[in-house]
């Protein structure tokens, strides 16, 4: 079974951090601390100067990673391979914007695979522009992760998920950008049902998740739950890896 499928076999606990926030070593430590806290699928975000899908918390993390630590695509891949060398079980997906990887997409996917990543999500590369990405993912054996949004119509969900037989669907359940929110949208279950009608792939729900109640509510209806900004905020507050592990345990209700 693939690492992604293993993560989803018993509810995927997904966590995002921006790569290079705090430098390479610190960043690796933090990702590993998440895994100790029960996370079984890591989202490693490649920092980008103009992250239009992200809210202030992740924007700030990206700015720190770029300005204070000169993080690049290659550094981010190095972080992935360092996590991988410590942990061969956890699933890892790269989360990136298109511009930093577009000059040589095939090469990027190859390097991502070599580093030990299991999937790639390119946030500003919608289905219409994603033909090449999907091809190279197939060639190098890495899963292209497709996002479904609250605005995605049923017809479109069918089109964009057609033919995908590995990885998972990321349902970004809120409008707007990343960032913590107080509650879950009421139409969550309805949207998940529409997605399930057209695909057998597992579904992870993210965007705005900021407490353990939201996590458990999501895991009642979805196959996985993604927490991002809430954890990135902890890094901004300089928590230690041990504290991060604890916070993650609390979030995912794992002892």
Partner 1 sequence: MLVKICGIREPEMARKVAASGVDFIGLLFTSHSPRQIGIATAKEIIAAVKDYPTKVVGVFFDETPEKIAEIDKELNLDVIQLHGDLPRSGVSNFTHKPLIYVADGKPLPECLDVAKDFILYEKIEPEETGFRWFLAGGLDKDNVSGLIDKYAPTGVDLSSGVEISRGVKDFAKIREFLAVIRPTYYGAYGGMYVPELLIEPLKDLIDAVKTIMHSPEFQAEYLNLLKNFVGRPTALTEVKNFAKAIGLTSVHLKREDLTHTGAHKINNALGQCLLAKKMGKPRIIAETGAGQHGVATATACAMLGLECVVYMGQVDVERQAPNVAKMRLLGAKVVAVTDGSATLKDAVNEALRDWAASYETTHYCLGTALGPYPFPQICAEFQAVIGREAKAQYNEQVGSNPDMVIACVGGGSNAIGVFQEFIPDEKIKLVGIEAGGYGVKVGENAARFQSGKLGVLHGNRTYVLQTEDGQIADTHSVSAGLDYAAVGPQHADLYATGRAHYDVATDEEALIAFQLLTRTEGIIPALESSHALAYLMKVAKDLPKDCKVLVNLSGRGDKDLPGLLARELVHVTN
Residue of 88, 89, 103, 238 interacting with partner 1 (CB under 8 A): 103
Dump strand ranges (E) for the chain: 12-18, 41-45, 91-96, 119-122, 143-144, 146-148, 169-172, 203-206, 224-227
Nearer to partner 1, 138 or 220 (CB): 138
Cα gap 239→231, rounded to integer Å: 10
In the complex, the smallest distance separating the C-beta of residue 50 from partner 1, rounded to whole angstroms, is 5
Contact pattern for partner 1 over residues 181 through 210, marking x by CB under 8 A:
------------------------------
When asked if residue 52 is in the footprint of partner 1 (CB under 8 A), the reply is yes
Q: Binding marks (x or -) toward partner 1, 108..127, rule CB under 8 A? A: ---------------xxxxx
Number of C-beta neighbours around residue 218 at 10 A: 24
**# residues near partner 1 by CB under 8 A:** 42
Nearest CA among 47, 48, 45, 117 for reference residue 81: 117
* Torsion sign across C-alpha atoms 46, 50, 56, 62: positive
The rounded distance, in Å, linking the Cα atoms of 17 and 175 is 21
Which of 41, 101, 215, 222 is in the footprint of partner 1 by CB under 8 A?
101
- If binding is defined by CB under 8 A, does position 100 make contact with partner 1? yes
Give which of 48, 44, 105 is closest to 80, Cα–Cα. Answer: 44
CA distance linking residue 237 with residue 136, whole number of Å: 38
Stretch that binds partner 1, among 21-29, 145-153, 223-231, 237-245 (CB under 8 A): 145-153
239 binds partner 1 (CB under 8 A): no
Which region, judged by CB under 8 A, interacts with partner 1, from 142-150, 191-199, 217-225, 242-250? 142-150
156 near partner 1, rule: CB under 8 A? yes
Whether 54 sits among the annotated catalytic residues: the reply is yes
**190: helix, coil or strand?**
helix
Beta bridge partners of residue 224, listed in sequence order: 12, 204
Structure tokens at 30: 């933090």
- The label of the residue with tokens 């946030």 reads 123
Catalytic residues: 43, 54
Q: Which residues bind partner 1 (CB under 8 A)?
A: 48-53, 55, 59, 63, 66, 72-73, 98-103, 123-129, 131, 135, 138-139, 147-153, 156, 160, 172, 175-177
């Amino acid at each position: 079974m693939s690492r992604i499928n293993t993560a989803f076999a018993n509810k995927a606990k997904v966590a995002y951090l921006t790569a290079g926030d705090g430098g390479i070593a610190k960043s690796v430590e933090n990702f590993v601390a998440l895994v100790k806290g029960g996370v079984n699928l890591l989202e490693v975000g490649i920092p980008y100067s103009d992250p239009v899908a992200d809210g202030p918390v992740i924007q700030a993390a990206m700015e720190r990673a770029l300005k204070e630590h000169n993080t690049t695509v290659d550094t981010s891949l190095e972080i992935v391979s360092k996590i991988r060398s410590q942990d061969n079980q956890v699933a890892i997906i790269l989360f990136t914007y298109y511009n930093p990887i577009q000059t040589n997409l095939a090469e990027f996917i190859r390097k991502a695979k070599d580093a030990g990543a299991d999937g790639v999500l390119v946030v500003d590369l919608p289905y219409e522009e994603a033909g090449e990405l999907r091809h190279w993912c197939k060639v190098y054996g890495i899963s292209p992760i497709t996002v479904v949004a609250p605005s995605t119509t049923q017809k479109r969900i069918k089109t964009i998920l057609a033919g995908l037989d590995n990885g998972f669907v990321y349902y970004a359940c809120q409008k707007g950008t990343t960032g913590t929110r107080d509650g879950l949208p009421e139409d969550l279950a309805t949207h998940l049902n529409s997605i399930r009608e057209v695909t057998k792939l597992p579904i992870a729900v993210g965007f705005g998740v900021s407490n353990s109640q939201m996590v458990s509510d999501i895991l009642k209806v979805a196959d996985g739950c993604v927490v991002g900004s809430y954890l990135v905020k902890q890094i901004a507050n300089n928590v230690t890896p041990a504290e991060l592990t604890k916070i993650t345990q609390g979030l995912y209700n794992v002892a």
